[in-house]
């Protein structure tokens, strides 16, 4: 299948320094692809290249298999729409703002299309309100409607929720996710927020220091990162060095800090051999913590370790508890669990996690 957008050998340089170096990158028709990375990683530059707003120093860009040239870039760009972090609404009513692009393009059915998208974004009741008097969440819904009313071939979202407060963001993201999936809208989302990517994206590209380090289905990026660098960025807080002791039916047994940890088949075990040095990655939300001497109820949990709390770190939405099990294991628990279990440095505890919750990264 021809990609909706693709890059090959693309480099962008500022002041003689490469800020973007992408060997290959494709956006499939109808998917939501999230590009995640820290500030300064090149995300916005990549989006400008994809949106044909910035020409790379090297490389090729294709839109639905067509090579983009200076002569064709404007026509291809008109088939795209972009929503930025700030809504940048014009004077006039909400309806005026949503109609803006249609009027520039001299579209005939402006009223009907505006009405439809106001309804779909849940802002029909605001149509006659002054656009510049809206709340942040309302303004961003108007900006989305203004882009989607154009019925673009590709929608580009540049940190569209970053400027919103938590309640507005929590209300808007599920609505946008449902809308994009229902319409099969080809979308590229740039964000530094991992939760946004998990909520919206079919696939995720991790961009670090201007390079794509992993591009894969969303669950695989977050639960099967290909490197320590990617793992740390996507929220794998436990990365413990170990050595593979045995492989049995695809399950690896790894010696880690005096303990043995079973790692499920398909979680990197297929890429290592007995005696290989590895890092075992475990997400904090995949570990169960319980009082010393108790046992968890799930019989499918293969890994049971005893440990001592070394730190309790307040955070949101969960508290991070670091347990010394021979290696530091980070566990996410509720504030109520901290109180109920009396969690404090020095407390003896047990931890448990499934073999499928652990992932192996070859040691480099």
Per DSSP, 225 falls in state: -
Q: 342 and 249, same structural domain?
A: yes
Cα–Cα distance, 121 to 87 (Å, whole number): 15
Single out the residue in 208, 228, 248 at which a domain terminates.
228
Q: 192 and 45, same structural domain?
A: yes
Q: 263 and 177, same structural domain?
A: no
The pLDDT of residue 298: 60
* Full DSSP string of 133-185: GS-HHHHHHHHHHHHHTT--SEEEEESTTTTS-HHHHHHHHHHHHHHHHHHT-
The pLDDT of residue 249: 85
Q: How many residues does the chain have?
A: 364
Number of domains in the chain: 2
Single out the residue in 174, 200, 228 at which a domain terminates.
228
* CATH code of the domain in which 133 resides: 3.40.50.300
The pLDDT of residue 104: 82
Q: Does the pLDDT at position 364 exceed 80?
A: no
Q: 126 and 189, same structural domain?
A: yes
* CATH code of the domain in which 337 resides: 2.40.50.100
Q: 290 and 248, same structural domain?
A: yes
The pLDDT of residue 302: 87
Single out the residue in 228, 256, 282 at which a domain terminates.
228
The pLDDT of residue 64: 95
Q: 76 and 200, same structural domain?
A: yes
Per-residue pLDDT band at 245 (split at 50, 70, 90): very high
Tokens of 224: 């099967």
Instruction: Give this prediction's pTM.
Output: 0.91
The pLDDT of residue 218: 97
pLDDT digits (tens, 9 = 90+) for 18-77: 999 999 999 999 999 999 999 999 999 999 999 999 999 999 999 999 999 999 999 999
Q: 304 and 255, same structural domain?
A: yes
Q: 268 and 183, same structural domain?
A: no
Sequence-separated (6 or more) residues with CB below 8 Å from residue 280: 238, 239, 240, 242, 254, 256, 261, 263, 358, 359, 360
For Cα atoms 205, 206, 208, give the angle at the middle one, nearest 5 degrees.
140
Q: 170 and 55, same structural domain?
A: yes
* Domain ranges, residue 334: 237-362
pLDDT digits (tens, 9 = 90+) for 306-344: 999 999 999 888 999 999 999 999 999 999 999 999 999
Q: 271 and 177, same structural domain?
A: no
Q: For a pLDDT cut of 90, what percent of the chain falls above it?
A: 83
Sequence-separated (6 or more) residues with CB below 8 Å from residue 142: 87, 89, 94, 97, 98, 121, 123, 126, 131, 134
């Amino acid at each position: 299948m021809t990609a909706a957008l693709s890059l090959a050998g693309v480099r962008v340089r500022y002041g003689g320094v490469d800020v973007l170096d992408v060997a290959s990158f494709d956006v499939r028709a109808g998917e939501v692809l999230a590009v995640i990375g820290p500030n300064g990683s090149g995300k916005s530059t990549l989006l400008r290249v994809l949106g044909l707003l910035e020409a790379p120093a090297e490389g090729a860009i294709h839109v639905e298999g067509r090579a983009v040239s200076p002569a064709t870039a404007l026509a291809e760009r008109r088939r795209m729409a972009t929503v930025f972090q700030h809504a940048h609404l014009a004077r006039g009513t909400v309806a005026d703002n949503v109609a803006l692009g249609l009027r520039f393009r001299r579209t005939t059915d402006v009223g009907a299309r505006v009405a439809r998208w106001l309804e779909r974004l849940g802002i029909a009741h605001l149509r006659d309100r002054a656009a510049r008097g809206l709340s942040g969440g309302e303004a961003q819904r108007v900006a989305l409607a203004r882009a989607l009313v154009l019925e673009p071939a590709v929608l580009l979202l540049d940190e569209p929720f970053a400027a919103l407060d938590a309640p507005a963001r929590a209300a808007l993201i599920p609505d946008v996710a449902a809308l994009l999936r229902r319409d099969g809208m080809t979308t590229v989302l740039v964000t530094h927020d991992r939760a946004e990517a998990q909520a919206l994206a079919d696939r995720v590209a991790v961009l670090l220091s201007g390079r794509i380090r992993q591009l894969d289905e969303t669950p695989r990026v977050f639960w099967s990162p290909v490197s320590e660098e990617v793992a740390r960025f996507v929220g794998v807080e436990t990365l413990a060095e170990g050595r593979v002791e045995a492989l049995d039916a695809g399950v690896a047994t790894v010696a880690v800090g005096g303990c043995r940890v079973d790692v499920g088949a398909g979680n990197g075990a297929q890429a290592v051999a007995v005696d290989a040095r590895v890092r075992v990655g475990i997400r904090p939300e995949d570990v169960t913590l319980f009082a010393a001497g108790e046992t968890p109820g799930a019989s499918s949990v293969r890994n049971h370790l005893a440990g001592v709390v070394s730190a309790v770190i307040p955070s949101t939405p969960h508290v991070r508890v670091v347990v010394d099990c021979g290696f530091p294991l980070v566990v996410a628990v509720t504030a109520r669990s901290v109180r109920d279990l009396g969690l404090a440095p020095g407390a003896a505890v047990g931890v448990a996690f499934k073999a499928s919750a652990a992932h192996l990264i070859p040691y480099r």
